[in-house]
């Protein structure tokens, strides 16, 4: 597994994402609160994948990649 952050992500966001993966059950509840349009199926498809989650936020919120990435990173910081 590559330990370098994904392109365009900060080390903090990458670290936070690894923490969210470890506490995915708790994170799922927070996702529902942050993005009410996300379905249980959407959340299950994310299954701890930051990239899939950003895609789902783009799809459900109707926002572009940069906006979705910022929303996910903000959510991560609040965990």
Please report the domains of the chain, with CATH numbers, ordered by start residue.
12-78 (1.10.1470.10)
Residue numbers in the chain where pLDDT is lower than 50: 1-6
Whole-model pTM over 0.85: no
Q: Which of 13, 11, 20, 21 is nearest to 79 (CA)?
A: 20
Res 42: pLDDT: 94
Res 28: pLDDT: 84
Angstrom distances, CA of residue 76 to CA of 30, 33: 10, 13
Q: Which of 10, 21, 79, 12 is nearest to 50 (CA)?
A: 21
């Amino acid at each position: 597994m590559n330990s370098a952050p994904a392109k365009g992500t900060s080390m903090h966001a990458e670290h936070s994402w690894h923490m969210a993966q470890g506490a995915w059950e708790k994170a799922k509840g927070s996702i529902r609160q942050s993005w009410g349009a996300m379905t249980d199926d959407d959340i299950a498809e994310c299954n701890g994948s930051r990239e899939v989650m950003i895609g789902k936020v783009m799809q459900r919120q109707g926002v572009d990649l940069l906006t979705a990435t910022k929303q996910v990173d903000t959510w991560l910081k609040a965990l």
